[in-house]
Each structure stands twice: as structure tokens, then as C-alpha cells.
Amino acid sequence: MQAKETLFADLVQGRAQQFQVPLYQRTYSWTEKQLRQLWTDILEQAELLERGEKANTHFLGSVVLAPSPQNEAVFPRWLVVDGQQRLTTLSLALAAIRDHIRDAEPGDAERIDEQYLINKWKSGSDHFRLLPTQADRPQFAAHVRGPLTDLAVGGSVAVAYTFFRRKLVEAADPAAPQDVFRIEQAITSRLTLVAVTAERGDNVHRIFESLNNTGLKLSQADLLRNYLFMKLHTRGEHVYETYWLPLQDSLSNEELEQLMWLQLVLDGDDRVRRQDLYAAQQQRFERGEASETEIEAYIRELHRRAALFRRLLHPKEEPDPSVRAHLRQLDAWQAQVTYPALMLLLDRRERGELDSSDTARAMSYIESFLVRRMICRVPTNNLNRIFQAVPGQLPLDVPVADGLHQLLSAANRFWPDDTELREKIQKAPFYQFGRSQQRKMVLQRLEESYEHPEPVDFAAAQLTVEHVMPQSPGDEWLRMLGEETADGESAEDLHSRLQHTLGNLTLTAVNSELSNHPFERKQGLLQGSHLEMNRRIATTERWGAKEILARAGELADRAIALWPAPLRGVGRAERSRDWQLAHQVLAALPHGTWTSYGDLAAFLGSGAQAVGNHLASTPGVANAYRVLTSEGKVSEGFRWTPEDEGGDVRSRLIADGVRFTVNGAADPAQRLTADDLAVLVAEDDGQAEGEDGEDTTQRTPGGGQGEETRAGKFFRQLAADDSRETVEAVRALLTRWEELGGWIGHGAGQVTTSAFLMLGEAGGPGRGIWPLTLYPGGGRGGTAEVVFQHLAAREPFTDRTLRVEFLRRLNELEGVDIPEGKLELRPNFRLSVLEKDRNRQLLAEALAWFRECWESRETA
């Protein structure tokens, strides 16, 4: 046996060879969770390359290889006993890079192919450098060699490839552009592996077990503590009792590690990564041959700063009310990324360099920076770099608060100015960006700006975000919107464009089944609200496009006054960022789906004409030809750009799995709406959520005397516009689910509730699983949402074949036709289909199968 450290490039490139995954190995199973972590590591290494740093490569893990029985002297073949997930993922990442650059850099695309992916002069299965297990081979081969076919698409391989295609588009973000060839270099020469090569007859499985039996690792804080006290030969006991023990008692180990990292950042190291904390601090002490006195001074300073750090973690410990208010708002925003700047402000205040008033003013700039970027949909991927650089880049010749204002206003920080903020409040789908608590906080701060004489206690009031014009509008809403449509726009298009904008959103705590009903029936409820913004909405006579835009203008005025602007215009082409978002979501379109110009425009907060003009004039946009008219037709103005010459559009669409109806239109069931597009680029946090982001993984509580239970509220809302037969069919479905061993969790929404068919433990993200979420219709009929997006990250349904089988069983119901292209989304069907006895029986059988799959996950 030989074991050596190597790089991916050194392992796979060179002469023709092949790495074979044995047939007995499990199929490729990395989910987006593992892919996101790897991508973060890759970007970190790309950044180190950009700075010219050669140390601190990232250890990816081990690869255990053994000679294949098919080995030949002129064509080595290796069995991959361990490490196939890593090798497959890196190969797919390089395939995505190759395809990303193919049009612009065909020579480099060919180079990547020949160096890492294929054996150029070999045919058949020998053509591939990596040969996955048999179940994965069609998918892997299709993504390495192409073209994609219906038999090859889908599955974890396709998910990983699509993930990297989307992330490569995202990496071109103007706020922090990444060089694609640097990303390639990071993958091939900065991710280290330990390659264990066995001889014939070696027990490779014993090797595998020993490599993976590593025990509990010491944290960075543990390592640094041990190092420090080994250096304190004479003062160790005194320092431990005086400073370290109180420090250790006031912070958890993870918090202590974070404080140690922050201390390095505050001392001017704006590039140190948290995982390199121990090595970086050790190098500092070794360079200066630190004495016991210097090490004691370091620990004493750590002890002093711990009291400041606790105020970030527990804002109630901050004595000044104005500073405390800002810390609470940033804590509610979950703005841990800002800790370097916040620690600097508290540290400078303690040193007397600014007072509490200026500290609060500086924190208002930080809040504004975050809020304005969120409203204007600036990606968050460079926030770590921005705030970690604050201590080292803060101007020295101006007061601290003014210096921070100046620093964050720099052109490459992308702090939106008043013009952009106003435009995005009026047009952008606010409800589809940021976290749910961030959206709620923006509305809360806007409500507070009215300075009502009897302000709402937001901590006690259980408020949720409400769409005034509902997400599922009834016929009366659509008739009203039809009076305001522009040329070529339908009422549905206008609704899609306006429904998620800030002008149509408010906060409410009312228990109402009327959320989706006409505006006149909402006015009384809004008039009785304690929130000033709701009272103002109630005074209008109608609620259409004109009123939504007028309210957006009013909220924009308040937002501009509430959140300070940067010192000067940021000097950037704001539109280019929106188009990057369009490119990113189009790259993520699943096989067998299409979208419309109106849907893409609503997702972007743009206009359909502007979307069409951009796609027509921009070469190299992945899947641009899959954007059709709302009727599912190729636009008369569609033309391939010279660089994208692609033949007959309909033939390309058919090859991509898009079906066509007898009248020549793309199948409407395969169309992705603006909401579907938002799901494509959203990240699943593992929590069961209702429409307004509330946690629903708790078992449904009973109501007290005179108090309506969530279950009662759900059925009352369901009965408001569904037939008695549908309501009874849903009751029977929930009873059957409980007989199967499941339980019902109801949404905590104060306006519209929901019912989750749950298995597993209650409480906490990721601890339970649910196949369906049921929603009352509120004027359009109740729906059952099939949560494929969540299932894809939960065992055993990370296996795509199981999700495909669940889809097949659901599609056996008469009236249900969910295309396979929506297998990564959250499609729905009408609850009214359950009125038929046969449909109820088929759904019960599908759910019983689902439960059996979940229960057998441990023994599979």
C-alpha cells in the first residue's frame, strides 16, 4: 500500500487511464448542501490564487484506489474503493466550466476535456477518465460527452452539473467577479487529496475503515488554547484563573473561536480565514518570539473584548438605548457577517475615539448598507470580504463614523443610491429575495417610521407578511386588473409583475379566511388594525396597479429617509446585475421546462420587452431559446445571435424535453412561473414553512377555551370556497395519514394557514419530512403542494429514482399531470381531484409507499 498527498490534476491528467467506480458502490448522492460547501471552498482557493498565496490549500479528503481486474499496462484502470463522490463532483464541475466557456474559448474548452474528462483516442466506455457506477453512467456520459436525452437527464448527477453551471454565471457578478480560469485552477491544483493506492491482495476495505475512523477533532480554539498555555511556563495558573476561566465561562467554544478570529481581524489581518485561525495566530507569536508577558497581554485583550462581543450576541447587555436598538435590529437581521465592523465600533468607543451617538450613527450606515442591498437584490456573496476588510481599510484622517460611511460608499461596495432604491421598491419582487425575517424587519421598520402615538409591540404581536392583492387572485381581482393592463399584457401577467412588490405587502395579525377575497372584504379588517400602514391601505377605494404603485412611492420616500444613502453615486451599471440574475436562473432551467418573457420579467422586476431585447442582443446566454411567449410560442422577433447559431428552435426545444400541443404551443404544464424561477435559485434551509416563512415543524397545538385551533382555522378557510365534498375528502386524507403513522403540522400563519403531512420528529430544521403541504384556496380552490425541492435534500429521497416513482404514482390520479421537469420544484394540484373515490385510493397508496420508503432508509 502507498499513501501520498496529491492534487486532482496530478491524479487524473497525463496518459490515458480510467478510474472505475465498482458496481457495488452506492450511486452518486451529493446534494446541494455538500455542493454549496465545496463551492465555498473552491472560491476561497480562487481568492488565495488571486492574491498570489501558495500556502493553505484545502484538504478535500481521501481517495482509495486498487488495481482493476481489467487493468492493462498501456491503459491503467483503477477501482475507486473510496472517494467516488469527490471525483465525480470535481469532474462535473470541470464539465460545467468547459461548457460555460465553450463559445468564447473553444480551445480551452477542448483542453479541459482532454486533460481531465476524456481519453481522446479511446472509444466506448474507455473514452471517459472516470467511469461511475452503472446506474450513473448514462447521466454522467451525457454531461461529459452529450447530447442530453430524456433517459440521461435528472438525478443527482444532473443536479450537480446544473448547480455548477448556475454558480459559474453567479461568479460573474459585477460586485465581485471571479475569473473562471482561476476557478478551474483552484479545482485542479488547490484541492488536495490523500491517494491510497493498494496492491493486489490488500484489504482495501480495512484501509477505508481506518481512514474514516478519525474521532472527534479539536477545534481551532482548543488548539490555540493549548498552544498559549504551553508557552506560559510561570504565569499559566494566574492567567488561567484571572482571564481565561471567566472568558471560557462567558462564551461557548464556538463563540470563543469566533472572538479569536475577530481579534486577528481587528489587529489588521483582513484575509485570515476562520479555519486558519490557529496557524495564523501561531505564526504571529513565532515571528516575534513572543514572551510570556506578550502572551498574557493577548489573553487579557481577548478577555476585555469578550465583554464587547457578548453585546453583539446579546444586545440587551448594551447600556446605551440607541446603540442597543441598532444591535437588536442587526441581530434580528442575522447579520453576523458585520461583526468585524461592529466590534471595531464598540472597541473604538471604549477607547474614547467616538461617543454612543456616533456609534449609533455608524451602525445605521451598516443597517442601511444591508437593507438597501437586500431590497435591490445585490448578491450577498462578497459581504464577508467587505466587512472583514473594514478594520484594515478604515480611513485614518476622518472620524470613525464618517470614515465607515466613506468606506462603504466606495464604488465596488455596491451600496444602492436613492434612485435605485426607489426603482426597486416599485418594480422588484421584494417577497422573493432575502430571508423571511429580513422581509418582516423591513416592513416593521417602515411601520415604525410613521411614529404612531400607540406603537405596536412587535415582540409580542405575531405578525406575518400579507399580500394585499392575493397570490391566488379570484375572478374579481383579475377583472379589475384587466382594466389596467398595458398592450400585449394579460391580467395574469400584471398580477405576476406586481404581487410580490413592496407596495403590495404589509404586516398583519388578523385571523382571517378572507385573505384571497376581493379588496372590499379586506378593508374592514385593515381599518381595525393597530398598524398605521394598514389603516392607510383601508382608506383607498380599490386596490389595483395604480394604488400599489402609489403606495410603493410612499414607502420609497420613507425608506430613503429611514436608511441613509451612500455619500455619492455608486457609479455602476445597475442593470448588468439584474441580467446576471437572469442568466443564472436560465442556466438552472431543468430539462423539460420552459418559461415566458413575462415570467422572467416578473422574477427580475423588469419589463417583458426589455427581457426580449436583452436576450436577442446578448450571445452566450444558456437556454435563452427556452424563453417563449405566454402562449408557449417562439417569439416572432426571436433570432439566434451569430455566436449562438443553433438551428430550428422547436427542434432544440423538443431535444430539451419540451412537449408541444396539437396547436403547436409548448405544453403549459411544463411552464415555469416567476415563483418557480425563484425556487430554482433559492436555498432550502431544511425547515417546513408556510407562505410567510413561519416554522411549522411543531405538532399542532390545541386551542384553549374559546380559542380556534390551527386545524379548525385550516378547515374553516378551506370551506370558504371549496365544496363540502372536497373538505370531507381532505379530512379523510388527513385521517388516513395519521393511520399510516404520520402527524399533521399546521402553519402558524395569522392570515392563511396550511397543513403539512409530517413524518419524524417535531421541532427544528431538517428533523422531519413531509411529502405534501395543503393550502386553502381563498377564491381559487385549495391546492396540494408536492415538495420535491425539500425532498431532494432528505434521505432517502435524495435518490432521484424515488422522487420519480412518487411523481409517477401522483400522476396516476385523474386530473394530475406534473411534468418531470418540475422534480426540483414545488408543483401543486387541486384538492378538488380528491372528490373522486379512485383518486383518494391512489393518493393513499402513494403516501403509504412514501412512508415505507422513509422507514426503510436506515436499512437500505
3-state SS, residue 37? helix
Are 59 and 192 found together in one domain? yes
The answer to whether 228 touches 297, Cβ cutoff 8 Å, is no
* 3-state SS, residue 544: coil
CA distance linking residue 21 with residue 225, whole number of Å: 43
- Kindly state whether residue 598 falls inside one of the protein's structural domains: yes
Residues 527-546, buried b or exposed e (16+ Cβ, 10 A)? eebebbbbeebbebeebbbe
Segment holding 561, helix H or strand E:
helix 545-562
Cis peptide bond upstream of 147, omega within 30: yes
**Domain assignment of residue 218, yes or no:** no
Q: Which of 13, 33, 58 is nearest to 187 (CA)?
A: 58
- The pLDDT score that the predictor gives to residue 682 is 76
At a CB cut-off of 8 Å and minimum separation 6, what does 779 contact?
470, 472, 473, 474, 475, 477, 516, 517, 721
Distances (CA, A) of 234 to 240, 292, 412, 440, 846: 12, 8, 50, 54, 70
Is 26 among the domain residues?
A: yes
Within-domain flag for 798: yes
Alpha helices in 740-787 (DSSP H): none
Looking from the CA of 289 toward its CB, the CA atoms found within 13 Å total 0
Last residue of a domain, one of 644, 679, 714: 679
Same domain, 761 and 849: yes
Q: What is the dihedral of CA 815, 816, 819, 824, to 10 degrees?
A: 160
Residues of the domain holding 365:
318-415
The sign of the torsion formed by the CA atoms of 545, 547, 548, 549 equals positive
pLDDT along the chain (860 residues), means of 10: 85 88 80 88 88 79 85 86 92 94 89 93 92 87 76 75 90 76 94 84 59 59 84 86 90 92 88 82 80 91 95 96 96 94 96 95 97 91 88 89 93 88 94 89 93 76 84 86 86 92 87 60 78 89 93 96 83 58 89 91 86 86 91 86 76 89 91 89 56 47 54 86 92 94 78 82 62 82 90 84 92 93 90 94 96 77
Q: 123 near 116, Cβ under 8 Å?
A: no
Which one of 635, 652, 679 terminates a domain? 679
Both 461 and 514 in one domain: the answer is yes
CA-nearest of 695, 624, 633, 636 to 666 is 633
Residue 219 belongs to a domain: no
Report the C-alpha gap between 613 and 630 in whole angstroms.
16
pLDDT tens string 808-835: 999 999 999 999 889 888 999 999 999 9
Q: At what angle do helices 597-604 and 574-587 cross, to 10 degrees?
A: 130
DSSP symbol at 242:
I
Label residue 184 left, alpha or beta by phi (over 0 means left) and psi (-120 to 50 means alpha). alpha
Q: Please, what is the Cα angle at 53 between 52 and 55, to 5 degrees?
A: 155
Residue 386 sits in the same domain as residue 251: no
Both 304 and 333 in a single domain?
no
Instruction: Identify whether residues 436 and 404 lie together within a single domain.
Output: no
Residues 89, 38 contacting (CB under 8 angstroms): yes
Q: Which residue has the cell 421541532?
A: 763
Number of neighbours of residue 252 by Cβ within 10 angstroms: 11
521 in a domain, yes or no?
A: yes
Listed in sequence order, the residues at least 6 apart from 627 whose beta carbon sits closer than 8 Å to its beta carbon are 586, 594, 595, 596, 597, 600, 611, 615
Q: What pLDDT, on a 0 to 100 scale, did the predictor assign at position 209?
A: 56
Say if residue 48 is in the same domain as residue 148.
Answer: yes
SS3 640: coil
Same domain (yes/no): 74, 176: yes
Task: Using alpha carbons, select from 345, 29, 308, 305 the residue that is nearest to residue 156.
Answer: 29
Do 153 and 293 belong to one domain? no
DSSP string covering 141-205, please? HHHHT----TTT--HHHHHHHHHHHHHHHHTT-TTS---HHHHHHHHHHSEEEEEEEPPTT--HH
**Domain count within the chain:** 6
Same domain, 466 and 554: yes
Query: How big is the CA angle at 9 (ends 7 and 11), to the nearest 5 degrees?
Result: 70
The DSSP secondary-structure symbol of 660 reads B
| Residue 539 and residue 599 share a domain | no
What's residue 127's pLDDT?
93
pLDDT of residue 203: 61
The pTM for the full model equals: 0.80
- Of 630, 654, 679, the one marking the end of a domain is 679
Is 380 contained in some domain?
yes
pLDDT at position 764, please? 41
How far apart, in Å, are the Cα atoms of 276 and each of 57, 231, 280, 769?
Answer: 11, 20, 6, 36
- The dihedral over CA atoms of 648, 650, 653, 655, expressed in degrees to the nearest 10, equals -70
> Is-contact 409 359, C-beta < 8 A?
no
pLDDT for residue 336: 94
β-bridge pairing 77-82 and 2-7: unpaired
User: Helices marked H in 232-288 — which ranges?
Assistant: 236-239, 245-250, 253-266, 277-288
What's residue 703's pLDDT?
43
What grid cell was written down for 409? 460608499
Strand intervals (E) in 731-776: 743-746, 755-760, 768-769, 772-775
**CATH number, domain containing residue 646:** 1.10.10.10
Q: What are phi and psi of 323, to 5 degrees?
A: -65, -40
Assess if residue 126 is contained within a domain: yes
C-alpha span between 795 and 525 (Å, rounded)? 43
As a dihedral over the C-alpha atoms of residue 629, residue 633, residue 635, residue 640, rounded to 10 degrees, the angle is 120
Which residue is listed with cell 470563543? 256
Cell of 257: 473561536
Is the domain of 540 the same as that of 469? yes
Residue 641 neighbours by CB distance under 10 Å: 16
**pLDDT tens-place string over residues 586-599:** 988 888 899 999 99
Q: Which residues contact 512 (CB under 8 A, 6 or more apart)?
A: 522, 525, 751
Q: List C-alpha distances in Å: 512 to 318, 716, 754.
A: 39, 10, 13
